[in-house]
Chain A
Amino acid sequence: MKYKLADQVSLTEVDDESVLLDLNSGAYYGLNHVGTMLMGYLHDQKTPEFASAAIAEQYQTPYITVARDIELLVQQLLEHKLIVEC
């Protein structure tokens, strides 16, 4: 499954972190470096699985650990309507 930023959401990158802002509600969410990397992969039309593999490789961390965290983050972003399915 591929995802993209919801229409009403802006993403501002700040160094290696980023802030997601829902322009309608004013709610905002700070993303750490890994969250920001995920958003970059989603922006490039990659799947969360692809992002997990790339991040796991970069951080020399077991894929399963990263994939679990990424899945959780994607669920939270979906729940808050910050990303939508493509």
Chain B
Amino acid sequence: MALAGLLFSGDQTELKINAKDLLEKLEYHGISLLAAEQKTLPSELKGHLAQLKAMMVANDKLKQIELASLFDAFNDQGLSAVLFKGSALAYSLYPKPWLRPRSDSDVLIAAKDKVKAGAVLQQLGYHKLFAIQGEYVSYQSTYGKALAGNSFINIDLHWKVNNRQMFSQTFTVDELRDYGAKITQLADTPMRSFASIPSYVDSVLIASIHRSGHHHTEERLAWLYDIHLLIGRFTAHDWQQLAHRAKSKKICAITLDALKTTQHYLSTELDATAISQLEASASQHEASSIFLNRQLSERHYFWADLKSMPNLKSKFGFLRESIAPSPKYVRHQMNTRWASIAYIKRFIRGLKRVL
């Protein structure tokens, strides 16, 4: 299937007329170089895409070396860490890692290892980027490091697999590691040790969660293409596992939606038995299916998140941290030196968002 053709309805001549629009759309969807590989794009984009490819290849090489060092350092410290989402897929699934664009590399650790992992990153020259912090309001920190030239790498260090409360407990680092695989090189960059990555099945579930929970108002072909490639590697056993694990994690509806959307756009072949099982389970009410309704306002998702939290202490903690984060954070966020003004501005902005 021609990826570029999916971005415009109607006749293919439009691709020739609107090369600039096409490029913008390709970049938004994260499939510029994938589409270029298919050699179906207008010739006027050739020069730009050749430059983009050289840049992505070079950037990826620098990131490979950096990530290899990071995982070697984690392993040296006895830290159990899993590389997941885009970077894991780029190095295990895509024929060329730079075909899978990503702005950061996601690493999952156990919550108990947060300080130790942060220390390893800082020893390697990373700086923690400013972001909201709290016990419940965020389960990740971002660490950045300048590489050679103008390159930069961001590591999203997660201690829960997703920031949505409803999905935050879906996987633990031990579970992803035990069901997953180890890679000993990142493309052609060898590692002294290894990086753990999730199994194909868990990667599909994570992609479904990410698509629905974190980006429920947008659809990018790059994420669907991930699922398309993952499913292409599935065995019959993997399909059984997918239905079983989605059911046990109560994410059948969002998984089914991700699979069917992928099939719709990319003609992906699905396993009829597994789909029937997912459909049967999805017909029972799953709280997570609220994220399939993309028309709701943020307060509905917030409320669903709050309800999913296990006890009163965590619910109150989440509410408190969401409504009134630290003065330092809110001053930075609202770009004012006065905390009281910052809180008022934040309150008004929050009201607009939830009403």
Does A75 belong to the interface (CB within 8 Å)?
no
Which residues of B sit under 8 angstroms from A72, Cβ to Cβ? none
Interface string of A22-46 (1 = CB under 8 A from B): 1111111110000000000000000
Residues of B close to A25: CB separation below 8 A? 148-149
6 A–B contacts from the bound complex (CB under 8 Å): A22-B148, A26-B150, A27-B149, A28-B55, A28-B58, A30-B54
| Residues 57 to 91 of chain B near chain A (Cβ within 8 Å) | 57-58, 61-62, 65
> Is A19's CB under 8 angstroms from B57's CB?
yes
In the assembled complex, how far is the CB of residue A26 from the closest CB belonging to chain B, in whole angstroms? 2
Known: A12-B188, A21-B62. A26 touches B148 (CB 8 A): yes
Contacts of A61 in B (CB 8 A): none
In the complex, A30 Cα to B52 Cα: how many Å? 10
Residues 129-188 of B at the A interface (beta carbon under 8 Å): 147-151, 188
* B50 contacts the other chain (CB 8 A): yes
Q: Given A12-B57, A12-B188 in contact, is the A23-B62 Cβ separation under 8 Å?
A: yes
Chain B residue numbers with a CB within 8 Å of A12 are 57-58, 61, 188
Query: Known: A24-B148, A25-B148. Is A30-B61 also a contact (CB below 8 A)?
Result: no
Assuming the A-B contacts A25-B149, A26-B147, A27-B149, are A14 and B62 also in contact, with contact meaning beta carbons closer than 8 angstroms in the complex? no
Closest to A20 in B: B58
Q: Which 5 A-B pairs have the closest CB atoms?
A: A26-B149, A26-B148, A28-B58, A30-B54, A19-B57
Given the interface contacts A30-B50, A30-B54, does A10 sit within 8 Å of B61 by beta carbon?
yes
Contact of B62 among A26, A29, A30 (CB under 8 A): A26
Asked if B294 is an interface residue, CB under 8 A from chain A, the answer is: no
Beyond contacts A19-B57, A21-B61, A26-B147: 8 other A-B pairs, Cβ-Cβ < 8 A, are: A14-B53, A14-B96, A19-B61, A21-B62, A23-B148, A27-B149, A28-B55, A28-B58
- Residues from chain A with a CB closer than 8 A to the CB of B96 are 14
Q: How far apart sit A67 and B326, CA to CA, in the bound complex (Å)?
A: 67
Whether B51 is near chain A, meaning CB under 8 Å from some CB there, is yes
Q: In the complex, which residue of chain A has the Cβ closest to the Cβ of B57?
A: A19
Please report the C-alpha to C-alpha distance between residue A28 and residue B150 in the assembled complex, in whole angstroms. Answer: 11
Name the B residues within 8 Å of A30 (CB-CB): 50-51, 53-54
Could you say which residues of chain A place their CB within 8 Å of the CB of B151?
26
The reply to whether A19 and B148 contact each other, CB–CB distance below 8 Å, is no
Partner of B54, one of A10, A22, A28: A28
Q: How far is the CB of A70 from chain B (nearest CB, A)?
A: 20
Contact A19 B149 (CB under 8 A): no
Instruction: Give CA–CA (A24, B149) in the complex, Å.
Output: 8
Interface 1/0s, chain B 186-220, versus A by CB < 8 A?
A: 00100000000000000000000000000000000
In the complex, which residues of chain A have a beta carbon less than 8 angstroms from the beta carbon of B51?
30
Q: Which residues of A contact B57 (CB under 8 A)?
A: 12, 14, 19, 21, 28
